[in-house]
Amino acid sequence: MSSQLTPFHSQPVFLLGFGGVGRALARQLIAARELHLARRHLRLEVVGIADSNNIVFEPTGLDDATLHSLIAQKDVGQKMSAPAIQQGLTPLEAITHLPPNSIVVDTTATDHIVPALLAAKVAGHAVVLANKLPVAGDLAWWDTITPSRARWETTCGSAMPVISTLTTLLDAGDEVSKIEGSLSGTLAYLAAQLEADKPFGDAVREAKRLGYTEPDPRQDLGGRDAGRKALILARMLGYRIGMDDVSIESLYPASMDNLSVDEFLREVDSLNEQMAQRAAALTTGGKKLRYAAVVQDGKCELKLLGADPNTKLGAIQASDSIVVFTSKHFSSNPLAVSGRGAGQEVTAMGVLGDIVSLAIG
């Protein structure tokens, strides 16, 4: 008897960014090859990788040995080195050399990559984003990137199915009237510490020591990253707004912006009394302290608030993220998506799911 190999679809993939998430994605992609072949008759071919230094580009696909080598190089802080290195090639130029119907994946944290993404869309390629900036920036970027053949699941809640859940509700004609969310693990941790009567300064320093904050904790305390996530959800509801329209409560005053990180970490104790008073006022009657986003009536707001412990926002554990959708069909019992909302491996898993979703059409 003769045997035939099962035909499979070869999908070109171009990776923009090869930091922690990008490398985790490459490892997961290699590990899932047999799974993709068995479940989807699919093989994902990485045709290029771009980082801040150079680009590795091979239109027929980089083999797994080369991918492992590139991952290992970056893991120890080396520059990417491979026969397929394209000296002087920019991401924007690389887009013009991609095979037809490629998937361009952005795991960077910069808006400098936006021209390459826009060019990819114009050329008919699909786009997957872990980077929030392209869809939380200029509305023209949103209008070009998101209408078709685009996924941005991990921009809001890592691999939690927040974006896909909202997409399903909207595609089914449900009327979403309100979205509430605890969208920052760092701010959720700090809210829990304040609720437990821990001095704010001690809580901030401990969060930094544990690696919960950015090297400069003010990047978290200012609420802008959570604000970008909320803005993305608001735009999905049709709100034609930008970051300047999002009301964000910062947990430190603007007068502390000019301090060095070390100075800020010393001076943050000056906020202890006012933060303790604010926490006490918001948690009267047994309410739970949350730093939450509220998207409703054309507005997008992020602030500390007191949540009824019997609500889904109030019942969530401090270590988890949650997004709650109130709609026509989920009114008395709103629909909630909750779980681990951060981490490189989890984010990479969500990105890989988005890639497969686009590849299988």
Express each pLDDT in 262-277 by its tens digit. Answer: 999 999 999 999 999 9
How many CB atoms are closer than 10 A to CB 145? 22
Question: What average pLDDT is seen over the chain?
Answer: 95
In sequence order, the 6+-apart residues with CB closer than 8 A to the CB of 255 are none
Task: Classify residue 349: in a domain, yes or no.
Answer: yes
For residue 169, pLDDT beyond 80: yes
In a domain, 3, yes or no: no
Quote the domain boundaries for residue 294: 168-339
Q: What is the CATH number of the domain that holds 20?
A: 3.40.50.720
- Using CA atoms, how far apart are residues 110 and 116, in angstroms rounded to an integer? 12
pLDDT computed for residue 6 by the predictor = 62
Indicate the number of domains in the chain. 2
136 and 188 fall within a common domain: no
Kindly tell me the number of DSSP H helices and DSSP E strands found in the chain: 16, 12
Q: Whole-angstrom Cα distance, residue 104 to residue 245?
A: 30
Residues 230 and 213 in one domain: yes
Measure the CA–CA gap between 167 and 21, rounded to whole angstroms.
24
Please tell me whether residues 47 and 144 are part of one structural domain. Answer: yes
Tokens of 315: 């019942």
Predicted local distance difference test score (pLDDT) of residue 317: 82
By C-alpha distance, which of 112, 202, 105 is closest to 155?
A: 105
Range in 78-92, 116-130, 138-152 with the lowest mean pLDDT: 78-92
8: number of Cβ within 10 Å: 12
Burial class (CB in 10 A: 0-12, 13-18, 19+), 249: middle
- Token pair, residue 277, equals 């008073």
In a domain, 335, yes or no: yes
Question: Is residue 307 one of the residues assigned to a domain?
Answer: yes
Whether residue 1 is predicted with pLDDT greater than 50 in this model: the reply is no
Same domain, 112 and 242: no
Rounded to 10 deg, the angle between the 162-171 and 224-236 helix axes is 20
In this structure, the answer to whether residues 253 and 203 fall within a common structural domain is yes
Residue 332 located in a structural domain: yes
Is the domain of 202 the same as that of 295?
yes
Identify whether 4 is part of a domain.
Answer: no
Angstrom distance (rounded) from CA 27 to CA 37: 16
Q: Are residues 334 and 350 in the same domain?
A: no
Q: Give the pLDDT of residue 343.
A: 83
Q: Can you give the CATH number for the domain in which 270 is found?
A: 3.30.360.10
Report residue 3's pLDDT band, with 50, 70 and 90 as the boundaries: very low
Q: Where are the beta strands (DSSP E) in 17-66?
A: 42-50, 55-57
Instruction: Tell me, yes or no, whether 48 and 132 share the same domain.
Output: yes
Which residues are the active-site residues? 229
Q: Which residues, other chains included, contact 305 with Cβ-Cβ below 8 Å and sequence gap of 6+? A: 282, 289, 290, 291, 292, 294
Residue with tokens 């960077």: 108
- Asked if 42 and 359 count as a contact pair (C-beta separation under 8 A), the reply is yes
Per the CB < 8 A criterion, the answer to whether 130 and 150 are in contact is: no
Alpha-carbon gap, residue 187 to 171, rounded angstroms: 32
**296 in the same domain as 215:** yes
Q: Spell out the residues 6+ positions from residue 17 whose beta carbon is closer than 8 angstroms to its own.
A: 50, 51, 105, 106, 107, 108, 109, 113, 131
Mean local confidence (pLDDT), 64-71:
97
> Is the domain of 143 the same as that of 200?
no
Same domain for 184 and 110 = no
Q: Say what the pLDDT of residue 107 is.
A: 97
Residue entry with tokens 């490629």: 102
Residue 2 resides in a domain: no
Answer yes or no: do 19 and 149 share one domain: yes
**Which pLDDT does position 341 carry in this prediction?**
72
Query: What confidence score (pLDDT) does residue 4 get?
Result: 52
Which structure tokens are listed for 159? 């691999």
Q: Judge whether 303 lies within some domain.
A: yes
CB 154 within 8 A of CB 130: yes
